[in-house]
Amino acid sequence: MHTLGEGVLNWNKDGRVLTRDQKQCEICEAPKSAFPEMTIMRDVSIAKSEFKAGEKAITKLQDFQNDEVLFDYCRYPAVVDTIKDLIGVPTSNLTAMHTMLINKPPDTGSLTSRHPMHQDLHYFPFRPADFIACAWTAMEVINRANGCLVVVPGTHKGHLLPHGYPKWEGGVNKAYHGIQDYDTSTPRTYVEMEAGDTVFFHPLLIHGSGANRTAGFRKAISCHYANADLCKYIDIKGTTQEELSYEIADITRKKMQRAGIDADSAKTIELDYADIWRARARAVTGSRANL
Ligand SMILES: O=C(O)CCC(=O)C(=O)O
């Protein structure tokens, strides 16, 4: 675990310092069209309630790579140096492949704020897994009460397991896949963190997070990095990832509509899964090399 300095939680834009709260309001209240390439995800049970929009309903902002303020997190030197230690060398080309600001609003009682146990590699069409790593930073105190990360140590040495939607009575958020037939009695470690603490983990590590049983939000920011000199896109057709790739393609078509492409044309566009990831990747150090 690494603790970042205070500065990373302030958003420095055009020479002025935006407080974290101002930045959050800007995103939550802006019309979708202001951020066409970001995916703004809403909690499935809250979206049906009185809080249809805004911070109370949003669970995730994905793909913030083109937002210079948020992307500063991915470039933060203490994070980048640690990632280079884990998956590269000082001269490696590092690419940010997946960026997320995760907001866990108070649970409605349906337990939809949980994140099922999964392996991040399930989502990625690039390999080798040993040259991909996630940095996940707590933006406030994160504990068992507000839904901290839970991990199963040692599982990064295993294989990618088949995933699907868990059969949860209260519903499951879009694209929150979990390991199929997961044995919930498997011992887990609760990762309680202070604001600014950062965990780094392997894409095969089995992890998830609990429900937010408090009245406050639980925010974290994360970036998945790949060593762009050593990682390459793979064809996921015929693998356990193929079905998910169609679901992600549908989410991408919705984004295209937000960017101005009409629904009928978006439906007919063939999307290659690797291309979807090429579009969200951004170099952090050096060039994109293979990615
Ligand atoms: O922040 C969390 O609760 C877990 C997020 C996560 O594991 C993911 O989005 O893959």
pLDDT (0 to 100) of residue 18: 46
CA of 71 to the centre of ligand 1 (A): 18
Q: What is the band of 11 on the pLDDT scale with cuts at 50, 70, 90?
A: very low
Q: Is the pLDDT of residue 213 over 60?
A: yes
290 belongs to a structural domain: no
User: Checking phi first, is residue 124 left (phi over 0); if not, alpha (psi -120 to 50) or beta?
Assistant: beta
Regarding the beta carbon of 209 and ligand 1, being less than 6 Å apart is answered yes
Of all residues in the chain, the percent with pLDDT exceeding 70 is: 85
pLDDT by residue (tens digit) across 21-65? Answer: 555 556 666 545 556 778 888 888 776 666 556 667 788 899 999
| Other Cβ atoms within 10 Å of 28 Cβ, number | 16
Domain count across the chain: 1
> Using CA atoms, how far apart are residues 85 and 131, in angstroms rounded to an integer?
11
pLDDT (0 to 100) of residue 34: 55
Q: Is the pLDDT of residue 128 over 80?
A: yes
pLDDT by residue (tens digit) across 235-245? Answer: 999 999 999 99
What CATH number has the domain bearing residue 199?
2.60.120.620
Instruction: Calculate mean pLDDT across residues 92-106.
Output: 95
pLDDT (0 to 100) of residue 257: 86
HSE toward the beta carbon, residue 9, CA cutoff 13 A? 17
> Could you tell me which residues come within 8 angstroms of residue 124 by beta carbon, excluding any fewer than 6 positions away?
97, 98, 132, 203, 224, 277
Regarding the beta carbon of 62 and ligand 1, being less than 6 Å apart is answered no
What is the span of the domain harbouring residue 141?
2-285
Phi and psi angles of residue 246, each rounded to the nearest 5 degrees, phi first: -70, -35
207 belongs to a structural domain: yes
Q: Is the pLDDT of residue 10 over 50?
A: no
Pocket test for ligand 1, best of 143, 151, 192, 207 (most atoms within 8 A of CB): 207
> Could you tell me which residues come within 8 angstroms of residue 63 by beta carbon, excluding any fewer than 6 positions away?
37, 38, 39, 98, 99, 280
Q: Is 5 exposed, middle or buried (0-12, 13-18, 19+ CB in 10 A)?
A: exposed
CA of 221 to the centre of ligand 1 (A): 10
Q: What is the band of 17 on the pLDDT scale with cuts at 50, 70, 90?
A: very low
- For the record, the structure tokens of 147 come out as 């839904």
Q: Is the pLDDT of residue 209 over 80?
A: yes
Rounded to 5°, angle at Cα 182 from 223 and 232: 40
291 belongs to a structural domain: no
Instruction: Calculate mean pLDDT across residues 252-277.
Output: 89
50 or 190: which leads in pLDDT: 190
| 3-state secondary structure (DSSP) of residue 190 | strand
Instruction: Calculate mean pLDDT across residues 154-171.
Output: 96
Of all residues in the chain, the percent with pLDDT exceeding 90 is: 71
215 belongs to a structural domain: yes
> Using CA atoms, how far apart are residues 161 and 233, in angstroms rounded to an integer?
19
| 3-state secondary structure (DSSP) of residue 42 | strand
211 belongs to a structural domain: yes
176 belongs to a structural domain: yes
